[in-house]
Structure 1
């Protein structure tokens, strides 16, 4: 190994890329220089980083360290409750600055000199089963949503099937029902139905929603007749295996009919119209961008069925904040409103399922599944490309089961983007998963500490481990767990 390789390996270590790893047999392995160079470029290792991040995590009742660049001296601490206190940030022997201990968990604001820093102060651990069980024992069931098929669901399972299983489980004394992921997939490509390869983990798969939760059985039955999909839905329900394209086409036609009726009446106002408007306002830019992507991808595929990857679209369409996308959104306002409608429908349907699970006696209710990554051709990567490590996929090195390693073709959130945005992409994802759940399973949870990344075009054996800010992420998980009592 020459001096250039030594320097490259040192750069990789400083950037959080492990230049070495140990295989399943205990043999030490070195990462190829090409892999290190590509990953260094991918994570922006040579770009200047913010000296003081906008959010710093800490533990309750422990002093919180800040980078030396934050400065010391008199400061104002604004607690999440709005209470204000004058404090002093002290220099430490280790070169860092230290905030005195804070006795309350939460997202507090530190006003120091001319800057404001969010202090995410976490409890010692997540909300626990003991806090629910109070010394008793608990048990639950697990189910794939698409296995909970029932008459009227179109053959693919839905939130009503979840609620029915929860009621049965509650009668048997269960406390939890763990589910497969409910993340948004690709409405325009129903053949991409893998729940662990979502378009976005910030939104839901509307095909899994029971529309009767919002509109009632009578309106749904009328919409099925209007859409002319009764026979198609019965055929899908009777099939041994799921035909995702046919089932999705029928259910989306049903949703279109519901939307047409709702949209025509929405101008008159009423409870549902107000609820929908509030949902759209609360969803903000993230929700609007997801709806724009869904509409834009559908339009591109209608023109060319092979045009499925936004990374190959014209440059103007790859810019979600650009004039071309804005013009498309203005021209396709009703289509975008339909995709907003789908997310509203799904959100309210899953809220109803969790409420029914809890009312059936499940002390935890639904346990959601948070996928480890997202599809690089999907909504999140298009709307927030700086969040995502494009150009590499999550996978795993060779092991006893896969001698060639694995490439899961999933994009990861950039650890640098997490730190520089106050962990916004991570927190948004976590909160979306906790929204209608009493607990979550974090898929491949070691990804909070490190992920095996495979540069595009390279074999899984040619990947490397990228370090993530595990201490920060675990604190944020604990804090959000307590805030959601999940």
Structure 2
């Protein structure tokens, strides 16, 4: 691979012009504040992933001509996304001199004729046909929703008449916080898989979630933010990271509590014994602080679920199941088929080549053969959906204004169900990651294929729309991990290092608009994780649309490097002391994040320098706490942690998140970015500072947790 520092690998102006025309940034500001630029090698590879040829100067010139003429080859753009309350226009391209009428078929059945606007754009020749442009006004009073624009063209006696259509999405201009929140609120942040009870199957599940939500509602919390519950591999070794799922639309059935399925009460004695015996295989794990074994837990649950599924359902329950399948549509059927094929053939890499194309006749034949197994995997989604629905109902009944706050991962596994079912939606030959920053000095490659921005528009943003709509079925809020991915993503060509990528821009106006429309329909709040390298205008834009940002105490600093004063925090933000990518606060105060990164070889600066910087950061924070009379001399660890949370509550932030691990004194990190097998990421069960397991039923009597929650409530009352 060409050295990106060599003079021969510097892109010329025409290549940069082509890259910018396709949304590939040719320069960016790094985390040191320096202007950086991708190499020629990177730009050519990223353009290739977008389907654009740029290997030599001739290809660059041909591609530049194509990008200029492409919009004129279409009568209408594939998708138009507008804001409610804002008048806009839509262009139509048609043979010069042709007549055109345009109307909108509204989602609820009405039809509205559009008025033509003045458009003096000169005609141009397109593939031998002189083509003109006409524009029509989209009024500002259209209702929110998904509509269809129809253009009826009369091109004269030689060319005849024809129609063209485009999808029109009318989205909210701004998403308001719900009145039930009362302006501000607080909640708990937890990794659901880590929060277990004595009745768990070795891993936290929907029943534990229901109990936790009920407890937190009684404590006055407004929400519970949990890790993404996206589905993982149904067979074989399950990927531990909830941020590398096989699909972001459907749920990992490992979160099902088998004995809470309605049909269990109707099982015969022998069948019920099989369920109980499967549970007994893993129940001892609930009392162990060792790393969670997802594979063992899923094996036991799957055995029980197979028994329950085989017992059948009553007629009314079967109808409920069928209605669920019909509502979830083709997406669910394809996901269930993918699971059945995984079960039959194992790892995707081992599948017969003729099955790797989801649209092939061979796959259709397998679908008929595997009908019973497809039914099983669709049933799992129905069951976990039911149990999550009960959890959210419990949250609302206990007084929580938002209830469950779900989390949306930034991408999916490259060999997962989403990529198999809709390969054209993803760019190939690249992965998504992040450039170097303060906490990941080598950059990150998340090994996830990005959505192709052009394909998203072609499909009316169906992948995004369906995903958000499904995730919000039983949630009052959604945290979008790496929300800047709706603006731009760091694409890393295969074979290059994580720091040798380039930013690819997305139509953020359309992407955010689609998310807001689905959130509006669900009555949900949207929180964007906007940490790291984010341009200030992007944060301002999100705030203008009512999307909350994310503020982490340790990252919020003024120009001199001192902790930001509480009053300087944003109002539209979820503010927290820490994040799952750092050790719990007790560990962070002890510099365990530095020790761990040194041990794993993740530092690019001398350890003495990094430790000095961490000490200065900690001392400045403690000084700031004392300035606000939140900390005395020689404080205990608990007092320091509570003072940090009191500090965050004193900000104007609309939402404040309290880490459950901080409430019980846990010190172990859930995740160390930049590692895979080097650290047991996403496997730590909830435990206290001495390494003793803390179960859901222990939480109401946990003195340290009660003290922290009391401190948070006291500050909110001030």
TM-score between both structures, scaled by the size of structure 1:
0.91
Following superposition, the deviation at residue 93 of structure 1 comes to 6.0
2:93 paired with 1:77: no
Question: CA offsets per residue over residues 236-265 of structure 1, 9 Å max, x none?
Answer: 323323111111100111111111112xxx
Structure 1 counterpart of 2:180, from 122, 129, 132: 132
Residue 162 of structure 1, CA deviation: 0.9
Q: Report the CA distance shift for 1:74/1:331 in structure 2 as closer, same or farther (over 3 A).
A: closer
Residue of structure 1 equivalent to 2:198: 151
Matched, 1:23 2:30: yes
User: What does residue range 295-374 of structure 1 map to in structure 2 within 5 Å?
Assistant: 295-301=340-346, 308-310=347-349, 313-374=351-412
Alignment of 1:440-455 (within 5 A): 440-455=478-493
Residue 27 (structure 1) shift: 2.4
Give yes or no for contact 2:469–2:519 (8 Å, CA) kept in 1: no
CA contact (8 A) 2:85 2:173 kept: no
Q: Give the one of 166, 189, 193 matched to 2:236.
A: 189
1:390 shift after superposition: 2.5
Bigger mean CA offset, 84-93 vs 336-345: 84-93
Structure 1 residue matching 2:36: 3-state secondary structure:
strand
CA RMSD of aligned residues (A): 2.4
Contact 2:210/2:395, CA 8 A, preserved across alignment: yes
Q: Say whether residues 1:110 and 2:149 are aligned partners.
A: yes
Q: Deviations over 1:371-414 (max 9, x none)?
A: 01111110000111011123211111112222221101122211
User: Retained in 2: the 8 A contact 1:190–1:248?
Assistant: no
| Residue 58 of structure 1, aligned match among 52, 76, 82 | 82
| Matched residue count | 472
> Is the 8 Å Cα contact of residues 212 and 220 (structure 1) preserved in structure 2?
no
Partner of 2:41: 34
Give the secondary-structure state (helix, strand or coil) at the position aligned to 1:284: helix
Q: Would you say the 8 A contact 1:73–1:90 is kept in 2?
A: no
- Per the TM alignment, residue 116 of structure 1 is displaced from its structure 2 partner at its CA by 2.5
The answer to whether the Cα contact below 8 Å between 1:12 and 1:40 also exists between their aligned partners in 2 is yes
1:199 to partner: Cα distance: 0.2
Q: CA deviation at 1:155?
A: 1.4
1:59 and 1:191 map into 2 onto residues whose CA distance is 41
* Contact 1:65 1:96 survives alignment (8 Å): no
In 1, are the aligned partners of 2:247 and 2:417 still within 8 Å (CA)? yes
Matched residues in 2 for 1:177 and 1:158: separation?
Answer: 14
Q: Which residue of 1 aligns with 2:286?
A: 237
C-alpha deviation, 1:294, in angstroms:
1.0
Secondary structure at 1:117 match in 2: strand
Say if 2:27 and 2:35, in contact at 8 Å, map to a contact too. Answer: yes
Change (3 A) 1:65 1:85: closer
Query: 1:251 corresponds to which residue?
Result: 301
Asked if residue 290 in structure 1 is aligned to residue 360 in structure 2, the reply is no
Per-residue Cα deviation, 1:210-234 (whole angstroms, up to 9, x for no partner): 2344426635896552253132122
Are the equivalent residues in 1 in contact too, given 2:114–2:136 (CA < 8 A)? no
* Closer, same or farther: CA 313–10 of 1 in aligned 2, 3 Å: farther
Determine the C-alpha separation between the residues in 2 that align with 1:313 and 1:37.
Answer: 31
Q: Which residue of 1 is the match for residue 417 of structure 2?
A: 379
Given that 2:425 and 2:456 are in contact with CA atoms closer than 8 Å, whether structure 1 keeps it comes out as yes
TM-aligned CA distance change 1:224 to 1:129, over 3 Å? farther
Structure 1 residues 316 and 138 mapped into 2: Cα distance closer, same or farther (>3 Å)? same
Is this contact kept in 1: 2:430–2:491, CA < 8 A? yes
| Aligned residue number for residue 409 of structure 1 | 447
* CA 181–4 in structure 1, closer or farther in 2 if over 3 Å, else same: closer
Q: 1:224 to 1:40 in 2, by over 3 A?
A: farther
Partner of 1:202: helix, strand, or coil?
coil
1:89 to 97, 116, 119: 116
Question: Which residue does 2:519 correspond to in 1?
Answer: 481
- Larger CA deviation: 218-227 vs 157-166: 218-227
- How many Å separate the matches in 2 of 1:155 and 1:237? 5
> Partner of 1:67 in structure 2?
91
Cα deviation, 1:180-239, whole Å, max 9, x if unaligned, reads 101111111343121100000111111112234442663589655225313212223233
Q: Determine the C-alpha separation between the residues in 2 that align with 1:63 and 1:93.
A: 19
The CA distance in 1 between the partners of 2:321 and 2:411, in whole Å, is 29
Moved more, 440-449 or 408-417: 408-417
SS in 2 for 1:288: helix
Find the counterpart in structure 2 of residue 305 from structure 1: none
- SS of match in other structure, 2:282: helix
Contact persistence 1:213–1:352 (CA under 8 A): no
Paired with 2:91 and 2:478, the residues of 1 have a C-alpha distance of 33
Gaps of 5+ in 2: 1-6, 53-62, 122-132, 153-162, 525-718
1:72–1:88 distance in 2 versus 1, CA, 3 Å:
farther
- Give the Cα separation in 2 of the matches to 1:150 and 1:72: 69
Match of 1:162 among 161, 186, 209: 209
Q: Are 1:201 and 1:432, in contact at CA under 8 Å, matched by a contact in 2?
A: no
Q: Quick one: distance in 1 between partners of 2:247 and 2:13? A: 39
Offset, 1:72 = 8.1
Alpha carbons of structure 1 residues 259 and 377: separation in structure 2 relative to 1, 3 Å: same
Of residues 412-421 and 136-145 in structure 1, the stretch that sits farther from structure 2 once superposed is 136-145
Bigger radius of gyration: 2
- TM-score normalised to structure 2 length: 0.62
Give the drift of 1:338.
1.3
- Structure 1 residue ranges without an equivalent (≥5): 302-307
